[in-house]
């Protein structure tokens, strides 16, 4: 494994982080609705689970899913149900104003929710497995595999919180607060659609 492999992997990671999906949508909505601290906590949770999926792929979980389809189906169904539940809750509370800071949930809750949002998409391990096969040589040592996962975590924890900080700027958040019912319902519809797509995807 050379530096060129790590660079190629990091480029793929950045493209994945920036692509529309449940994690980016959850990070955006959490930061705008609950502020910078909540967004950073969610970003750390999202990043931790994303790196964990990569480690799982490196340890052969994608192969296990192929050999034991019901395990993948079970995780996928639970994950889809969780995304749909988030969508329903977001839609139900779309018209409610953002509460005072003292009433806001603790950062730990957003960290856990970030972990669960990325845990809800077991397709991540299949994606990670495909990317890893294309980029890295097959004879990786255990140390190299752990290093790749730690590199993934470092990229996630650098980029995701930076996105939260950017989204929490006053101008961006003021625009969100003015359009909260509309934005939240759009976010709910997209999350619900992603959950249904995950549920029905073969």
Confidence of residue 62 (pLDDT cuts 50, 70, 90): low
Query: Quick check: helix, strand or coil at residue 202?
Result: coil
Asked whether residue 123 carries a pLDDT value surpassing 80, the answer given is no
Give the number of residues written for the chain: 202
Nearest to 145 by CA among 136, 155, 134: 136
Among 20-24, 51-55, 65-69, 147-151, the minimum mean pLDDT is found in 65-69
Least confident span in 111-115, 177-181, 193-197: 177-181
For the chain, how many structural domains are there in total?
1
Range of the domain at 18: 3-200
pTM: 0.76
CB 55 within 8 A of CB 145: yes
Given pLDDT bands bounded at 50, 70 and 90, which one contains residue 6?
confident
Average pLDDT over residues 82-96: 79
* Two tokens, residue 116: 């669960």
């Amino acid at each position: 494994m050379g530096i060129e492999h790590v660079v190629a992997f990091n480029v793929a990671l950045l493209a994945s982080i920036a692509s529309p999906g449940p994690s980016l949508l959850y990070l955006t909505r959490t930061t705008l609705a609950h502020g910078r601290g909540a967004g950073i906590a969610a970003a750390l949770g999202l990043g931790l689970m994303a790196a964990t999926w990569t480690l799982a792929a490196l340890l052969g979980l994608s192969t296990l899913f192929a050999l034991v389809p019901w395990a993948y189906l079970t995780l996928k169904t639970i994950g889809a149900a969780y995304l749909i539940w988030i969508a329903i809750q977001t839609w139900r509370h779309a018209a409610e104003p953002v509460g005072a800071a003292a009433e806001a949930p603790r950062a730990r809750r957003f960290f856990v929710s970030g972990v669960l949002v990325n845990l809800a998409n077991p397709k991540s391990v299949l994606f990670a497995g495909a990317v890893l096969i294309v980029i890295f040589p097959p004879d990786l040592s255990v140390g190299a595999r752990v290093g790749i996962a730690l590199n993934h975590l470092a990229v996630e924890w650098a980029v995701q919180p930076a996105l939260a900080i950017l989204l929490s700027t006053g101008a961006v958040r003021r625009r969100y607060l003015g359009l909260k019912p509309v934005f939240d319902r759009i976010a709910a519809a997209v999350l619900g659609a992603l959950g249904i797509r995950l549920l029905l995807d073969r």
